[in-house]
Structure 1
Amino acid sequence: MMMPDRLRPLRPLYRGVLTAAGLALLAGCAALSPAELRGTGDLGVVVERAAGRIAVVDTSAHRVLERVDGLGDLSHASVKFARDGRFAFVFGRDGGLSRVDLLSGEITHRIIQSGNSIGGAISQDGSLVAVSNYEPGGVRIFDSQTLEPVAEFPALYEDDSGEEQRSRVVGLVDAPGNRFVYSLFDAGEIHVVDINQESGAGEAQGGEAAFDVTRFTDIGKKPYDALIGLDGRYYIAGLFGEDGLAMLDLWHPENGVTRILPDYGRGEERLPVYKMPHLEGWTMAGRQAFFPAVGRHEVLVADTADWSLADRIPVHGQPIFVMSRPDKRQLWVNFAHPNNDVVQVIDTEKREVIATLSPGEAVLHMEFTPKGEQVWVSARDSDRVTVYDTRTLEEVARLKSASPSGIFFTDRAQRIGL
């Protein structure tokens, strides 16, 4: 008789034959707790910044499973996930890098790798984790299983007086081909690190490996943040020191950096800029790019065929994140102080606001469930996370959370740049 496929894992127990392997299997199953048996695809974390901890959440049940303390300064924290979704890497502002097991709710590894860091990325193959640092300026790379150091790339440049300095690093992302890409705020450069093979001639220091580094200089003044498209082709850095953005085509890096949207930036501002928008919150929908204006109460629309400005959508305040539902039909927008108590929803086909919602005071972040039927919204000063149905725009759940900021779900592990 053929064994049913669903029983093949129990082959040692089949037909009542209790073998040594079968006993081991039963013992292993008995030892597993419900948490250890839980799948990871339904999990996420909410950063509770004032408490220096994260809340591990079940996105379907709308509840907190665990709270993990001892993560340091999370005032500008970001989170990345191992490719299996089980481990969260938490990047703290104090230079802390922590690896958290979402199933057990425990910190498996923690190091202080710099004095001030701003985020990180996981390599395409999942083997390495990179951290971008303000102090000392540069990028450090670690083994994702052990957090043992692998390489360091100091962000060196010469200032106007000819003195060697270290730049602050921003906009670090993973890219196809097992590469990391990042920008140097003080130097006005974009660097691409190829981690596929040791070159022996790279800039890596302090580790056993040296990787190829390609530098693109004079890309514009003070790149402050960056994004990479969902297909991993274009890396775009925003410029704090001048109008426009810098774009690198990773399919054809030999063509260098191209300047796009020359009217975008601080030079165009008509209002005080309370908070620079996050480029990671841009939305690419077909040939359209939707992104926050700087110093204006507008969401801008560009035609990605030639990067010309196609439209301006009036909104409630200065937008910070312009985030799309996975089907790209809706954009959810939050705003800088003092208009940061609402979220607006934009229909991308009509290019107009269709709803204004009030999740609480100081809305900092939003995160869609993997297929976009719901969105979670953090309100720091109201100490809560509100969950909305994106079809009806009705509130479906509310969770208490101490000063929540970033919200990150494990499906990010399977997407480029997140």
Structure 2
Amino acid sequence: MKLLNTVCALAVVLGTSSMAETIATGDLGLIIERATGSVLLVDQSDRAALHRIEGLGDLSHASLVYSSDERFAYVFGRDGGLTKVDIVDRKIAKRVVQAGNSIGGAISDDGKLVAVSNYEPGGVRVFDAETLELVADIPTGSKTIGLVDAPGSKFVFTMWDTGETWIADMSTGTAEITKIKDMGDRPYDALITGNGRTYITGLFGEDGLTALDLWAENPEPIRVLQNYGRGQEEMPVYKMPHLEGWADTGSDFVLPAVGHHEVLWIDSDTLQETGRTKTHGQPVFAMARPDGRHVWVNFAHPLNDTIQVIDTVTKQIVHEFKPGPAVLHMEFTPRGHEVWLSVRDAGKVMIYDTETFEKLREIEAESPSGIFFTARAHRTGL
């Protein structure tokens, strides 16, 4: 078996042979195949598909996180399924259906707990990462969104219906809850900075965002970009933007505007607006290349065949191209020399050089959506 040129490796015994072979995981990733309930295991260096793992249920709105050793992926399905996938053995290790409709999840910084946020019946449920046994059930009386991990075995999440953000401290083995009210009207998604300090939630019911300083002894809501759409004609929202794939350029956050053809720039220290960039359509993801120099943006239906690249120094669009119908997701290689794009309606994942914008390869996939490389295992909030 070929040795993959990566950082993290696991030794396993294959078949009946007593000789252990090294399987590296740091170069691998999984692609959600939303229509077939499967995930595609891929190799970044070879730009190749390795194996399809099936039986993961409804993946029409799915995401995943990785264990710290990069061996296991925890996949959160729309049917409430929580599936633990072994990417070394290339199979499902464990699966539970924990709710009626889930919307994402997170893994604790020590890798021991996996949390899932739910629309139906609402709330957050926390599981043992090894066994998937239930550790804590946290009812909220609301659809729960924006679930992220925070340092110290904490999870932070927000309620669509009540406009509250809760911090669940799991460090003692039971959930100790801190509740922050008045986060805004109908929060729809949230992000956390890589240092675990700032939590930002986007608002659907009003123009603006709300931030929390998680280092504060008593975090209070901080209003950001209030009334950013005032004086503009609001458009129908065809797809809610995602904040988890947010752009942190080092000096600015770049966030998609709701109901407008623009991205918004805010200073990462002061949280004050520093600019706006008009875009091709309503942004869904605005993602920074790992070095922060460029931000890549995709768009909602019916303009979702296009990608725009924005220079973060000038805040100007420097490249635009059309990979194909329904570009749903982007993922950069860890150092950002390539970007992988899922083009759902073409049934392909397309790989581009991020300096020259040259297309390097295509990989066949069944209705691909989310792309997740194992480097995410070592980043807060991903």
Given the two structures, how large is their TM-score scaled by the length of structure 2? 0.93
Is the 1:221–1:240 Cα contact (8 Å) retained in structure 2? Answer: yes
Q: 1:353 to 1:272 in 2, by over 3 A?
A: same
Is the 2:330–2:339 Cα contact (8 Å) retained in structure 1? Answer: yes
Whichever of the two has the greater Rg, that structure is 1
Matched, 1:325 2:258: no
Q: How does 1:200-215 map to 2 (within 5 A)?
A: 210-215=174-179
Matched, 1:187 2:162: yes
Task: Give the aligned partner of residue 88 of structure 1.
Answer: 73
Matched, 1:41 2:5: no
Task: Give the aligned partner of residue 348 of structure 1.
Answer: 312
Measured after TM superposition, the shift of residue 303 of structure 1 is 2.2
Task: Give the aligned partner of residue 72 of structure 1.
Answer: 57
Matched, 1:249 2:213: yes
Matched, 1:115 2:79: no
Aligned residues: 371
Task: Give the aligned partner of residue 368 of structure 1.
Answer: 332
List structure 1 segments (4+ residues) > 6 angstroms apart after TM superposition. Answer: 25-29
Is the 2:180–2:219 Cα contact (8 Å) retained in structure 1? Answer: no
Q: 1:314 to 1:232 in 2, by over 3 A?
A: same
Q: Which of residues 375, 378, 393 is equivalent to 2:342?
A: 378
Distance in 2, matches of 1:275 and 1:253, equals: 36
Task: Give the aligned partner of residue 100 of structure 1.
Answer: 85
Matched, 1:309 2:273: yes
Is the 1:288–1:301 Cα contact (8 Å) retained in structure 2? Answer: yes
Task: Give the aligned partner of residue 9 of structure 2.
Answer: none
Is the 1:227–1:417 Cα contact (8 Å) retained in structure 2? Answer: yes
Task: Give the aligned partner of residue 204 of structure 1.
Answer: none
Letter of the 1:43 counterpart? L
Measured after TM superposition, the shift of residue 287 of structure 1 is 2.5
Letter of the 1:252 counterpart? A
Q: Which of residues 123, 131, 146 is equivalent to 1:146?
A: 131
Is the 2:13–2:20 Cα contact (8 Å) retained in structure 1? Answer: no
Measured after TM superposition, the shift of residue 267 of structure 1 is 9.3
Measured after TM superposition, the shift of residue 28 of structure 1 is 10
Is the 1:288–1:304 Cα contact (8 Å) retained in structure 2? Answer: yes
Q: Which of residues 141, 144, 163 is equivalent to 1:169?
A: 144
Given the two structures, how large is their TM-score scaled by the length of structure 1? 0.85
In terms of fraction of residues, the more helix-rich structure is 1
Is the 1:243–1:268 Cα contact (8 Å) retained in structure 2? Answer: no
Task: Say which SS state the counterpart of residue 413 (structure 1) adopts.
Answer: helix
Task: Say which SS state the counterpart of residue 197 (structure 1) adopts.
Answer: coil
Q: Which of residues 199, 222, 225 is equivalent to 1:261?
A: 225
Q: 1:27 to 1:301 in 2, by over 3 A?
A: closer
Task: Give the aligned partner of residue 280 of structure 1.
Answer: 244
Is the 1:281–1:291 Cα contact (8 Å) retained in structure 2? Answer: no
Task: Give the aligned partner of residue 41 of structure 2.
Answer: 56
Distance in 2, matches of 1:67 and 1:398, equals: 16
Alignment RMSD:
1.9
Measured after TM superposition, the shift of residue 332 of structure 1 is 0.7
Distance in 1, matches of 2:13 and 2:254, equals: 54
Measured after TM superposition, the shift of residue 297 of structure 1 is 1.6
Task: Give the aligned partner of residue 191 of structure 2.
Answer: 227
Letter of the 1:190 counterpart? T
Distance in 2, matches of 1:412 and 1:266, equals: 37
Distance in 1, matches of 2:380 and 2:287, equals: 16
Task: Give the aligned partner of residue 253 of structure 2.
Answer: 289
Measured after TM superposition, the shift of residue 178 of structure 1 is 1.4
Letter of the 2:319 counterpart? A
> After superposition, what is the alpha-carbon deviation per residue over 1:196-243, rounded to whole angstroms, capped at 9, x for unaligned?
114xxxxxxxxxxx2211011122111110000111100011111112
Q: 1:269 to 1:378 in 2, by over 3 A?
A: farther
Distance in 2, matches of 1:27 and 1:279, equals: 40
